[in-house]
Each structure stands twice: as structure tokens, then as C-alpha cells.
Amino acid sequence: MRWLLRLNSGFTAAALLWLTVMFFVLRHPGYLPNALTAAAMVAVSLGVLAMTVVDVGRWPTRLAAALLALMLLAYGASALWRNHAGAGHFEGYAEVIGLALVAQGVLTLLFSAGIGTNRETRRAL
């Protein structure tokens, strides 16, 4: 499962980085808060990616991963909700990024619980 989380985290970080750049290129009204939020979510995705490399057996790392997972789930669900909630039009990129964030949140939550880790890591939990 660790490889799946790494793959998802890399994709999500790349997609959010693209979104951040597009906010600055297009400069729609109110673009700055959206660009900063997307950039912060890039940092969160990269943080999750880094956590797949370190030992998750220690409780502070597991707690941080669980908190990041909840943040990813909330942000991804809100992106999906806004995309479907009568905005007048459907944005495909918001759907793809929202689903990737929800998937990353679920995978990160499972990872922080020790599911899908090797036996040595589970024994340390």
C-alpha cells in the first residue's frame, strides 16, 4: 500500500502545483487566496510523501499523518461538494483533484493506522 500512497501523493502534488501555476497565469478575481490554498495543499501532499519514507511506528509521526489525512479528506470533499453544488458549470479538473485528495486522505489514514505496513513496523505500533 505504501507504493500506492506514494503514487497518489506524487500525482496530487503535481496536479495541485499545476493548479497553483494556473491561478497565477489566469489571474481571475480572487485568485490569490485560491493559489495560496493550492500551494499549501502541495506542501501537505509532499509531507505525506515524505512520511512514507520515515518510520511511521512512532506515535507523533502516526498522529501527524492522521491529522494530514483528515485535512486531505476535508479539502477533497469540499472541492467535490463545490463542484457539484449548483455552481452553474462543472469543472473537470476540480473533480480529478478532489477525488485524488479524498483517495490520498483515505490511504494516509490507513497508513497512519499501520494498515499495509510491514510486520516490523506493525510490531512497533
Q: What's the rounded Cα separation, in Å, for the pair 105 and 41?
A: 12
Instruction: Tell me the whole-structure pTM to 2 decimals.
Output: 0.83
Q: How confident is the model at residue 119, as a pLDDT? A: 54
Residue ranges covered by each domain of the chain: 2-124
> What is the model's pLDDT at position 114?
79
- Written as nine digits, the cell of 118 is 510491514
Q: pLDDT at position 116, please?
A: 64
Angle at CA of residue 37, ends 60 and 81, nearest 5°: 95
What pLDDT score was predicted for residue 124? Answer: 45
pLDDT at 56: 62
The tens-digit pLDDT sequence of the chain (125 residues) is 788 999 999 999 999 999 999 999 999 888 999 899 999 999 999 988 988 887 666 778 788 888 888 989 998 998 888 888 866 677 888 889 999 999 999 999 998 887 766 555 444 44
